[in-house]
Amino acid sequence: MRVLHITSGNLYGGVEVFLATLVREASAAPGMEPDIAVCFEGRFSAEIARLGRVPHVLPSPRLSRPHSVLNARRALRDLLQRESYDVVVCHQPWTCVMFASVIRSAGFPVVMWVHMAGDGRHWLERLCQLTRPDLVVCNSRFTAERTAAWLPHSAIEHAYCPVSAPRTSFGVEERDELRRSLHTPTDDVVVVQVSRLEPFKGQHVLIHALTMLGDLPRWTCWIVGGAQRPIELEYLQRLQAMARERGIADRIRFIGERDDVERVLRAADVYCQPNSAPEGFGLTFIEAMGAGLPVVTSAMGGAREIVNESCGTLVQPGDANAVAHALRGLVSDASLRNRLAAEARHRAWVLCDPVQQMRQIQALLSGVVANSPRLERAQVLNVK
């Protein structure tokens, strides 16, 4: 079964990590061959190429420029005629709005993968309702429940993201070397957050909470994520100013975009991301847990399906005091960190074991192919 996954490709976040994992873990589902198409080249397309599967690049469409949309649709139509795919998947509403008409006219059902738990009010979600996807695959039960409310006529399924096991060894020497490169004492407790630089990810709440830990010695915070848009650069500058004003700038490292997030997580001790709005799933929580980090995050959205008392702490959204209390306990108590770390690794594997999740995804998409009008027509032609 050949699957074409279409995504924008202009930013790098959870969607792109998920798609890269589909390519990397393809051997876990031998009957499913993933192919990637992007509309914008950048970090994601380069990563897919490094994994040995050069993505198809469609002309970059913008809804404000109708001719660019027509060019992109024409290129996708030509690709579908040239290659033999069994199913085509649009990732996120933007891609579905752009290409659903081409996919349906080529005889494929419209499949959309939803990675963010919207409420149907965004203009792209409203346009997406007009396309009436045949199948919507969501990244969590939470996302599926919210999506069903604004796409009531579509079949809704959910599948957790596969997460690769650590790909390299990482010993004490490597850990200490990475810490030194980030100007961090090797015996500090490192609190880390890895995410897009967007206010709802809660970096400002984390800094507020860390201000209350000024009396505690031997901790450092790493905030990982590069500004990809002007609004994200403005937010980064506000965060840096906040750290200076609160007197903890010397204990916070803004380390920007990294292509070695796995190593960064394995060199840290605690993961904290106090969201102010819900994640559809929270892939970064699974990655952190897989690296053996207890997690502190907000009790909302997909995080409630991932984090429990065995591996971390859920706090009320926006409650910096609760975040500070949770971090104080973890920074001060190595035995607590170690106990939660062991459970975190196990829970990450139970939820997102790549073999199990890749096979579930294969089963979902195989079901679409089996019920596709395109397949039915092909069978009729074969009989004739």
Q: Please, what is the average pLDDT of the chain? A: 93
Does residue 84 lie within any of the structural domains? yes
**259, 300: one domain:** yes
**156, 259: one domain:** no
Strands 189-194 and 270-273: parallel
**76, 189: one domain:** no
74-112: b or e for each residue (b if 16 or more CB lie within 10 Å)? ebbbebbeeeebbbbbbbbbbbbbbbbebbbeeebbbbb
Structure tokens that stand for 171 in this block:
């010993």
Range of the structural domain that residue 66 is part of: 2-162+353-383
**188, 126: one domain:** no
Does residue 167 lie within any of the structural domains? no
**277, 305: one domain:** yes
Distance CA 238, CA 251 (A): 16
Residue type, 371: N
pLDDT of res. 344: 96
**133, 194: one domain:** no
**147, 191: one domain:** no
The two counts, helices (H) then strands (E), for the chain are 16, 13
Domain CATH number, residue 259: 3.40.50.2000
**84, 154: one domain:** yes
Does residue 318 lie within any of the structural domains? yes
pLDDT of res. 289: 96
User: Across 92-154, where does the E strand assignment appear?
Assistant: 111-114, 135-138
**134, 190: one domain:** no
Number of domains in the chain: 2
Does residue 107 lie within any of the structural domains? yes
In the chain, % of residues over pLDDT 90 = 90
pLDDT in tens, 58-81: 999 998 899 999 999 999 999 999
**179, 105: one domain:** no
Query: pLDDT tens digits, the chain, 384 residues: what are they?
Result: 999 999 999 988 889 999 999 999 999 999 999 999 999 999 999 999 999 999 999 999 998 899 999 999 999 999 999 999 999 999 999 999 999 999 999 999 999 999 999 999 999 999 999 999 999 999 999 999 999 999 999 999 999 999 988 777 788 999 999 999 999 999 999 999 999 999 999 999 999 999 999 999 999 999 999 888 899 999 999 999 999 999 999 999 999 999 899 999 999 999 999 999 999 999 999 999 999 999 999 999 999 999 999 999 999 999 999 999 999 999 999 999 999 999 999 999 999 999 999 999 999 999 988 876 654 444 333 333
**316, 362: one domain:** no
- Write down the pTM of the prediction: 0.87
**125, 35: one domain:** yes
pLDDT in tens, 146-176: 999 999 999 999 999 999 887 777 889 999 9
Cβ pair 103, 20 in contact under 8 A: no
Distance CA 163, CA 290 (A): 9
